[in-house]
Amino acid sequence: MTHYLFDLNGKKALVTGGGRGIGKTIAIGLASAGADIAITDIDISKSTEIKEEIQKLGKKCVFIESDITDFSNCKQIISECSMNLGGLDILVNNAGTNVRKTVNEVTEEDWDKVLDLNLKSYFFMTREAGNEMKKYNGGKVINIASLMGWSVFRNPKKQTYAPYASSKGGVISLTRSFAIDWAEDNIQVNAICPTFIETPLTNVLKEDHLVYDAICKRTPMGRFGKMEELIGPCIFLSSEASNLITGTSILVDGGWYAS
Ligand SMILES: NC(=O)c1ccc[n+]([C@@H]2O[C@H](COP(=O)([O-])OP(=O)(O)OC[C@H]3O[C@@H](n4cnc5c(N)ncnc54)[C@H](O)[C@@H]3O)[C@@H](O)[C@H]2O)c1
């Protein structure tokens, strides 16, 4: 049985990029704690399977197919979500991307692609969601940032983290700023900063022993994280258990930043 402080029954959550990877795992994790779920993703090919999994938990699940880097869509996504679920209490900004290139290979298009999805969409989604949450007496925003927003990995292949780390550092600052803007509206805005997690986005790293071994060696706990290890922090930040916490970033990094 869920402790009442972590109980999300009656809550309505929207997860961006919940069509696979970390977003999908978080969506199912929030449903397992009691929340009804809306997922927005540009790729809805796995929607039936995810819906079934969430419905088996006795929770609603709606999919909204959308490209959140077309920022004019953000308002529509929030109203569709709120209309279908009967309100909005929790937003998880999760959809993100990376380019793996050396500094001189990065194009302006690469820079814009990473920053538009990883940072700019977080601003517009958060703003629209917050305006909706104010109608329902507050809410929670959880931004999936990254350890790379705090500490950049020295990649043995000299691939740069400049666009990605800039976007994630920006998310950490955006989190603080919205937290202050909306402190009096009972909307808590926090970030989760994961280390390297085993997902489709990082499969390529796992297959590359030079990079994989360097990451494991650099991590005190000696391994990548698992997607399921992000569910607990996300439920915590979505629940009453974190009501006095806003503007902070939780490192979920196997001890990386401490060492
Ligand atoms: N995987 C890791 O090791 C790791 C580590 C730290 C932080 N993160 C962060 O976690 C988040 C999720 O990462 P992941 O590994 O699950 O990624 P992923 O690539 O597996 O999933 C990203 C999801 O976002 C969706 N998406 C992409 N562009 C979109 C758009 N324009 N509009 C709507 N949806 C879109 C994709 O279709 C996909 O379902 C990202 O913000 C990432 O930076 C990942």
pLDDT at 200 over 80: no
What does the block give as tokens for 108? 């302006």
Could you read off the pLDDT of 133-179 as tens digits, one per residue? 999 899 999 999 999 999 999 888 899 999 999 999 999 999 999 99
Does the beta carbon of 144 lie inside 6 Å of ligand 1? yes
- The span from the CA of 129 to the CA of 93, in Å, is 10
- 108 neighbors 174 (Cβ within 8 angstroms): no
17: left (phi over 0), alpha (psi -120 to 50) or beta: left
Could you read off the pLDDT of 107-119 as tens digits, one per residue? 999 999 999 999 9
Measured in Å, residue 97 CA sits from the centre of ligand 1 at 5
Could you read off the pLDDT of 64-97 as tens digits, one per residue? 999 999 999 999 999 999 999 999 999 999 999 9
Measured in Å, residue 187 CA sits from the centre of ligand 1 at 24
Could you read off the pLDDT of 30-51 as tens digits, one per residue? 999 999 999 999 999 999 999 9
The structural domains of the chain, ordered by start, are 4-252 (3.40.50.720)
Does the beta carbon of 201 lie inside 6 Å of ligand 1? yes
- 18 neighbors 247 (Cβ within 8 angstroms): no
pTM as predicted: 0.98
What does the block give as tokens for 85? 């679920």
**pLDDT reported for residue 97:** 96
Distances (CA, A) of 223 to 44, 226, 252: 31, 9, 12
